[in-house]
Chains A and B, each alone.
Chain A
Amino acid sequence: MVLGLAAVAIGFMALPFAGLLGRTPWGNLANLLADPFVAEALRLSVLTSLAAMAMSLLLGVPLAWVLARVPFPGRAVVRGIILLPMVLPPVVGGAALLFALGRRGLVGQWLDERFGILLPFSTWGVIVAVTFIAMPFLVITVEAGLRSADLRFEEAAATLGASRLTVLRRVTLPMAWPSIAAGAVLSWARGLGEFGASITFAGNLKGRTQTMPLAVFQALESDRDAAVAISLVMVAVSLAVLVALRERWFRVA
């Protein structure tokens, strides 16, 4: 019974990719992928998704720690806000970013006037949009990891003379490493496929803001074979990374 349902689940998840393989123009694949715009999009995707993962780690881990360990009024509301991008359509997230960080946005206006920083239509804009969408995945994963941790290890470290910062650096974070790694991979994977928020906030320009998903979308308008070929590259890259990292990061933990 359980095995049967699991098999159905596997089939359900794998079938669309089989469909993709079925539509792949194998004979013409090399030609399609040789198009410089594919390489350009792949480069941008790798760059922005990794940068967004780095941003998510930098900001998301401290946030997860605060949510897990520091009781403060309104914590549930804050957590809800942080997780909003997971449930909202990404396009809404992109529009919201535009209203906040766009040229006429709440903060964006000030950024532009004060520092001449314009996020929309720039690669940084893509990174901001992808971070906005992907970071919640890291935050909930790490927060869950920190919550399930045995606090007495931190007490043990304190009795050995470790300051709060040392405890965090040498005990809390290393022990939460599996959840941090899982969160980072999840957020990276989510970021790699990000489309709606990116195109809404940062637009679509080859070499600057056109990542793989945008390239697929645009190719779909004109050349479906090219779209399928690019999708195949995304699937291959993602699968390779997810499988490799899972082996490395989760087996030990």
Chain B
Amino acid sequence: MIATLKKYKFLLSQLVKRDFIQKYKKTALGIVWSVLSPLCEFLILYFIFSYMFGRNTPHYTTYLMTGILVNSFYTSATTSGLQSVLNNAGIINKIKLPIWLFPLSKNLSATITFLINCVVLVIFLFIDNISFSWVYISLLYPVILLFFFNYGVSLILGTCYVFFKDTSYLFNIFNRLLYFCCAIFWNVTSLPEILQKIIIFNPVYDFILYFRTVLIDNQLPSAFVHLYLFGFTLVVMLLGCLIYSKNKNKYIFYL
């Protein structure tokens, strides 16, 4: 797999480049949109919820922004990853290529967008009077895990989507639900004790939690969060690879 990756390194870079060109073609602002859309979401949520939740949440701007960014990284990577196989049916049907390259390229573009957004996050930290600390370097851990997590989900769902077109709608609804279960704009402490213990099992919430603990509390999250995220990502990734390799020869009949 590493050898194949090396061989198609150039193709991968071309695909990522194409993703960006296609995404922002015919727009006046172009790539600025990748920053602007989470920013707008932030403004809307801040406007509506800052009074309700902001009062008992310290550093609410940073709190809200990390939630939005991590969640939109997850959502955009998986949604575009899900469609990538079907959208490139024309190429897959005609040219022999490892199919996993297509979700990978979508995930890479989403990661790049996320990293650009992180620059905006730094500005937010500055405004919110949070100063830089060495603990921040540990954020590489959730970013790398989240990348693999997203990729695993893309492989699983991308495969399902080829066989059942309903997957896309179901996944949209699921993501909507997940959005509200991630404590993006509200605070977990307002929940009853028992629910607080359950929500910790939502991996996307844990990714967000990781960011918040490091950025706002300036400390590392608990060992449980570290292990849980690692374990969950590993399982998703393995499942993705398994489902993909079991079905890769069947794709062609359904495209």
Do the two chains bind?
Answer: no
Please list the residues of chain A having a beta carbon within 8 angstroms of any beta carbon in chain B: none
Please list the residues of chain B having a beta carbon within 8 angstroms of any beta carbon in chain A: none
